[in-house]
Amino acid sequence: MKKLNAIKSEKIWGYENWIASTHKNGFQKDFFEMCGGDYPLLVKVIQADKTLSVQVHPDDEKAALYEHCRGKTECWYVLSAKEDTELVYGLNGVYNSSELRKAIEANSLQDCLRYEKVKAGDFIYIPAGTVHAICGGLRLLEVQQSSDITYRLYDWGRGRECHVEKGIACIKDSSVRKIAPFPEAFSCPYFSLEEINVEDFYSSKIENASGKKNPRDIVLGFIIEGSGTVNGLPANAEDIFAFEPGESVEIKGCLKLMKISAK
């Protein structure tokens, strides 16, 4: 087991803590050595003091075509939110490429966006191809494929480079899931999440189905809230631990933990 140290990345809108990563743009050497190679997920804590760009991520096919890397399907768990905070989650209708391009050129893309209010504990799944933006006043746990590809469609006049043509080409069906509190467990083709509430004591063992050392078999435990110990090490909110297959886990204290597994 390892307790991982965050790599902080300052942004014009706030900052990101890369808390589990073997990606070259936020490389945790100890974690890479523990995995024995490339870990397929990237886990972050995002602090948005201001609104991020309106963006979209490519799926595996488009990412391989444009950037020769993985796509970027992701999800958010809301750690904290100011009252009445919103985020952009999809489009509010069906728009063709020409309509979106004209809206971007006219600085009116905001009229095509779907806004949703969120609160602490809410969960948002963002498959590649979904238009989205994190608004100011949010702190999020983000679990995603290990990819750092973002195509900005619109940046609210801040002057940063946008990637309109690639971004529009990556947009998929605008239908989105209902935003709601995290449903205890979630699974998609790339990762699975399970919320575990510990009151006093919890024990488990990490599965080792293959019997071989494979980076994707590493399991992560993120402390959402509370405090205690994990295998004897102090554990507080936003700490993250990495467990190897076959390893026993003992948690003492009163805390809420998100178990994160690659698929």
pLDDT for residue 223: 98
Domains 2-183 and 186-262 fall in the same CATH topology: yes
pLDDT tens for residues 94-118? 999 999 999 999 999 999 999 999 9
Query: Is 152 labeled as catalytic in the residue annotation?
Result: yes
Residue 176 has pLDDT above 90, yes or no: no
State the CB neighbour count (10 A cutoff) for residue 49: 13
Coil, helix or strand at residue 38: coil
- Specify the CATH number for 186-262; select among 2.40.440.10, 3.30.2420.10, 3.40.50.10540, 2.60.120.10: 2.60.120.10
> What mean pLDDT do residues 150-169 have?
96
Amino acid 150 reads T
Domain extents in the chain = 2-183, 186-262
pLDDT tens for residues 209-261? 667 788 899 999 999 999 999 999 999 999 999 999 999 999 999 999 999 99
Q: Which of 152, 158, 160, 216 is catalytic?
A: 152
pLDDT tens for residues 61-78? 999 999 999 999 999 999
Question: What is the CATH topology of the domain spanning 2-183?
Answer: Jelly Rolls (2.60.120)
Share of the chain above pLDDT 70, in %: 98
**0.95 cut: is pTM over it?**
yes
How do beta strands 113-117 and 122-126 pair? Answer: unpaired
> What mean pLDDT do residues 118-143 have?
98
> What mean pLDDT do residues 180-184 have?
96
pLDDT for residue 205: 95
Whole-angstrom distance, CA of residue 182 vs CA of residue 186 = 8
Mean pLDDT, the chain, whole residue set:
96
DSSP 50: S
